[in-house]
Amino acid sequence: MVAIGSVYIHECPAQHFIPLYLIVMGLATILKASIDQKARCQRARLPQEEQEEFTPNPLEYGLSKLLSLFIIAFFIAGSVWIYQIYRPNTIDSSSYDYCHPTVYNFAFWVTTAYYIFVAFLCCCACCICCYGACVDEDE
């Protein structure tokens, strides 16, 4: 996301926030993943009996949660920017409604893939709940 957004930073006058959205989301996701991975590594280095009581650094834990909220909010904003100009002009680069096809299609499909993944998780959760309800009735 960071690479595509950086390369095409000025290539989407139809919605100039799309490349910025890619850069910021990529960096925020990398930072959050790094903080979370650091806590996992610290916990894994402890003896087995001490891993249960492990508490991550409160500052890092708070920053991770704050980044999660930021990522969700910025994802919603990015969705608006991307879907607002659905099917932009990808031919005439001098046009005001132009957006380079690489940056737009990448942003569109990354965002759409997130929505598909969330929908899949919701369907799985519903199936598990229904299965649990059916099993409880049989007993």
How far, in Å, CA of 65 to CA of 117, rounded?
21
pLDDT at 9: 96
Domain range enclosing 63: 2-138
Region class of 98: left (phi > 0), else alpha (psi between -120 and 50), else beta: beta
pLDDT digit string, tens, across residues 64-96? 999 999 999 999 999 999 999 999 999 999 999
The yes-or-no verdict on residue 12 having pLDDT over 60 is: yes
Count of structural domains, the chain: 1
* Whole-structure pTM value: 0.86
Nearest CA among 27, 34, 6 for reference residue 74: 27
The one-letter amino acid code at 92 reads D
Query: pLDDT averaged over the chain?
Result: 94
pLDDT band at 53 (very low <50, low <70, confident <90, very high): confident
